[in-house]
Chains A and B, each alone.
Chain A
Amino acid sequence: MKPADAATLPAPGKTPTRRFDPRDLLASAGWMKWAAPIATPFVIWLLLPVFAIDQQAVITRATPFILTALAVALPARAGLINVGGEGQLLIGAAAAGAFAKFAGDGIPLIAMVPLMMLAGAIGGLLWSGIAATLKNAFAVNETISTLLLNYVATLFLGYLIHGALKDKESFGFAIGEQIPESARLPQFGETTVHFGILIAIAVTAGVWLLIERSRWGFKAQVVGGNPEAARRGGIPVGKTVMVALLLGGGIAGLAGAIELCGIETRLQTGMATGFGYIGFLCSWMVAHRAAWIPAGATLLAAISVYGDNLQIDLGLPASTVYILMAAIVLVVLAYRGSSTGKAISR
């Protein structure tokens, strides 16, 4: 053996060591791989009273976060960065509100809530369709287009609330019309928790199945991993990318409809501010793994509700919670490194 090589080889009798990775602990016990993502949100939730955080509020807050995080995670697995959850959510809420106002009469009671949800999902889907079209037809990077469309969506919601969707009985106030009683999401017993969490969990399971267990999910992962290999392998890259972004937008739009039917009951400016961005942080925190998103969303919802308390007690603005959330995500990003970022050394 040449001496030059000897320096790079480990000393005899020593196994090469690698850096400690907490995920090794999970990998060593097979069942924990399944149990951990399901148990973690419950553990966080049970610990909430220790920090004097309202448990019910955390569930209702985690609901939109789960969905907006899935709206980031699903396209991310196909190699897309969807930062448009914020706008897609608002447009979804506006679509549901418009449905209640213009088509809500005469719909059977049982169908009202599902149709509201559908309207929201379609609204979000169409909105993300703008970014998807810009990407496929004009090669516009989706990160930038979805970001800019958020500002457009906020203004567009303002336009609708001041115009077509304005409550005629509100006089000077620009505010949406109260949605009918039949369109409200029912609540669990005497609590303030609405059924949206069930929808969010069902969608989580659906996205997990789609990504991890379906043929389309496999194709999407290939596209995300190496588009050139996917193209040569006969996978329609453009179509896969388009579908992933549209589905993401649809999920975020659903979150908007849930917020409207479960919390807000009428469209207003400033509703759900930051929910899309928090979903983005949540998805990156858990590396876009759908199974872990409820855990991440519960943690961020706890921080968000705690932030509401701070806002009331200390007069700090709601955006203050971004400091803690962004810091967590930055630590995760720093620890994990990346597959898409170019390796820069020296």
Chain B
Amino acid sequence: MIVDVITGAVRYGACVVFAAEGETVSERSGVVNLGTEGSMLTGALAAFAVTVWTGSPVIGALAGLLGGALPALLHAFLVIDRNADQLATGLSVTFLGLGVTSALGTGFVDEKISGFDPIAIPLLSEIPFFGDVLFNYDILTYVALLLGPALWWFMKKTRWGLILRATGESGDVVYAYGHSPRKVRYMAVTAGGALAGLGGAQLVLASTLNWVENITVGRGFVAVALVIFASWLPIRAALGALLFGAAVSLQLQLQARGVNVSAFLLGMTPYVLTLVVLAIASRGQAQRMPAGLKAVFAPGGT
């Protein structure tokens, strides 16, 4: 049971890891992207459609990257060049993504694909307990597990990571330093959307293996919530996403074991858990928030 829950946490949490890391990159540059949900949807459909056409999940995952980047690019244009409200624009981009994927996705509802197979790492996957928990996933899930530390290294140890973080704190400083904060933000938002798209790809190629309308059911919004919970730190964001995955996994396990609690109540737990961790962590986050985000999150004075 415990092994099932933990492996499930990784399997169901991986797509949220991608989205949360993407949102971390975007918010660290000073742009909140609620279009993450939309990027996950377009990425998922692009990945699914391309996998159906080509039969190759690898090309599908690449299409997912591209599919997720497009709505983010639209968001970037509107908030950076047109100075539109970030939260409203992000949500509208999500609705656009929902509409487009619903319309284009009708033809794919009955399609079946063979997605990524789990790759058991030789020897390591033989270790009892840890072998199953750590070394028996599909390729995208391994990428997701490594993404948090990789992003931490990028942001903390590289020059470009420093420029990214500085852009979120003060665009003027970056400008004075000789870089264009506009370009940095464009790249960060688009890269963030691409990661969310890869998250959508992971969802359809490694987890559900089918397509239904609105397949992400709020996972992109959960990712945005987790970034705040994680104080904009990549490794913590990944842990938060895995916690969400654990809640999904646990409620599915309980349902499968025929626990006498309504499936609807169990289905609420991942969202309620996200709200609870957000409630615990939100106070005092204003100090840790990139300074560029204060204008977006400040209304209401908290």
* Binding partners A and B: yes
List residues of chain A with CB under 8 Å of any chain B CB. Answer: 78-81, 83, 134-136, 138-145, 147-152, 155-156, 158-159, 162-163, 223-224, 227-228, 230-231, 237-238, 241, 277, 280-281, 284, 315-327, 329-330, 333-338, 340-346
Q: Are B268 and A156 in contact (CB under 8 A)?
A: yes
Complex interface: stretch among B57-65, B94-102, B128-136, B191-199: B94-102
- Report if B87 contacts A (CB, 8 A): yes
Q: Are A330 and B100 in contact (CB under 8 A)?
A: no
Q: Are A341 and B86 in contact (CB under 8 A)?
A: yes
When C-beta atoms are compared, the residue in chain B nearest to A322 turns out to be: B99
Quick one: given A148-B218, A227-B300, are A281 and B92 in contact (CB under 8 Å)?
yes
When C-beta atoms are compared, the residue in chain B nearest to A323 turns out to be: B99
Q: Which of A281, A324, A341 sits near B83, CB closer than 8 Å?
A: A341
Q: Are A227 and B268 in contact (CB under 8 A)?
A: no
Q: Are B103 and A344 in contact (CB under 8 A)?
A: no
List residues of chain B with CB under 8 Å of any chain A CB. Answer: 30, 34, 74, 78-80, 82-89, 91-93, 95-96, 98-100, 102-103, 106, 171, 175, 180-182, 185, 213-214, 217-218, 221-222, 224-225, 228, 262, 264-265, 267-268, 271-272, 274-275, 278-280, 282-286, 292, 295-302
Q: Which residues of A contact B84 (CB under 8 A)?
A: 330, 333-334, 336-338, 341
Q: Are A319 and B271 in contact (CB under 8 A)?
A: no
Q: Which residues of A contact B106 (CB under 8 A)?
A: 315-317
Shortest C-beta distance, A13 to chain B (Å), equals 32
Q: Are A148 and B285 in contact (CB under 8 A)?
A: no
Q: Are B182 and A345 in contact (CB under 8 A)?
A: yes
Q: With A and B bound together, what is the CA distance between A144 and B95 in angstroms?
A: 16
Q: With A and B bound together, what is the CA distance between A135 and B302 in angstroms?
A: 8
Given A315-B106, A342-B30, A346-B171, 19 more contacts at CB 8 Å?
Answer: A83-B91, A134-B278, A134-B279, A138-B279, A141-B297, A145-B275, A159-B262, A237-B301, A284-B88, A316-B102, A320-B99, A320-B103, A321-B99, A326-B93, A330-B89, A330-B92, A340-B86, A340-B299, A344-B182
Q: With A and B bound together, what is the CA distance between A81 and B92 in angstroms?
A: 13
Q: Are B85 and A340 in contact (CB under 8 A)?
A: yes
Q: Are A346 and B96 in contact (CB under 8 A)?
A: no
